[in-house]
Amino acid sequence: MNLRLRTPFSAAVAIAIGLIVLVSLLFPDFTDLRNRILNWAILLAAVALLLGFANLFQVHFQKMRHGEKPVYSLILLAGMLVTFIITFWEGSQGFTASWIFNSIQLPIETSLMAVLAISLTIAAARLFQQRKDLMSIVFLVTLFVLLLSSGPLFGIELPLFTRTIGPYVNNFLSVGALRGLLIGVSIGTLATGLRILLGADRPYGG
């Protein structure tokens, strides 16, 4: 069976739906239509998430069958299925579902964040070893100043940092640059979105 839906049809769908949603943002008369399309998109996003779930299951099931580090895959599949069944059965607010969230997901997530503190500190320390240039000096000096200005150090407040230099760096130097970065990012987003709506980029395959 040779099933082929040529790209022009998919491109037409993306362009038409995108334009309808975009126009509906400008004209309130199209709000109903937009809400209807958004509801379809929300449903499809949820179904896509379930497809990802099924794919993850399939990949690790195959790994387990072929003996590629089967213990890891077994742990992943067990965690996945038990959590899905329990959370689906009793809802996210149920006792066992909350237990799973608070006793497994939350501690691992927070601990990974805690490990990040150590990794970032090491990365900052190694930066100057790897790159001895003006930008590294500016980066590290700013980091040092902002850390000193973030609060009292061993119970001693350093007013020069907490009240003068720190707020100045935060409110003027970095705000201006971050504004420039944000404007740049949004122009990039705008360009990418327009390329999709013009059919120049077709990330949906085909």
Partner 1 sequence: MQISQGFLSQIGVFFAAALTLITLSYAFRDNPIFRAILHLFVGVAAGYAAAIAVQDVVLPQLVYPILDELAGTPTLDIIDLAIRVGLTLLLLAKLSPRTARLGSPVTALLTGVGAALAIGGAVQGTLIPQISAAAGIFNVESFQLAYQGGYYGESLQIIFEGSLLLLATVSTLAYFHFGAHSRGKQEPLRNIFVDALAWLGAVFIAVALATLFTGVLQAALGALIERVAFLRDVANLLLGLQ
Sites for partner 1 among residues 22-41 (CB under 8 A): 22, 25, 36-41
Other beta carbons within 10 angstroms of residue 66's beta carbon come to 9
Which C-beta is closer to partner 1: that of 17 or that of 158? 17
- Using CB under 8 A as the binding rule, the residues of this chain from 34 to 73 that contact partner 1 are 36-54, 56, 71-73
- Please, which residues have CB within 8 angstroms of residue 92's CB and are 6 or more apart in sequence? 98, 101
**Of the candidates 33, 59, 75, 153, which one interacts with partner 1 according to CB under 8 A?**
75
Helices (H) and strands (E) in the chain, counts: 9, 0
Q: Which two tokens stand for residue 137?
A: 């000096």
- Residue 157 beta carbon to partner 1: minimum distance, rounded to whole angstroms: 17
CB of 73 to partner 1, least distance (A): 7
> Cβ 97 to partner 1, closest distance in Å?
8
| Number of CB atoms found within 10 A of residue 29's CB | 8
Q: 153 has which bridge partners?
A: 156
Among 33, 125, 138, 200, binds partner 1 (CB under 8 A): 138
Assigned token pair, 173:
């130097």
Burial of 145 (0-12, 13-18, 19+ CB in 10 A): middle
Site string for partner 1, 171-190 (x = CB under 8 A): -xxxxxxxxxxxxxxxx-xx
> Applying CB under 8 A, does 115 fall inside the site for partner 1?
yes
- Interface pick for partner 1 out of 59, 92, 152, 153 (rule CB under 8 A): 92
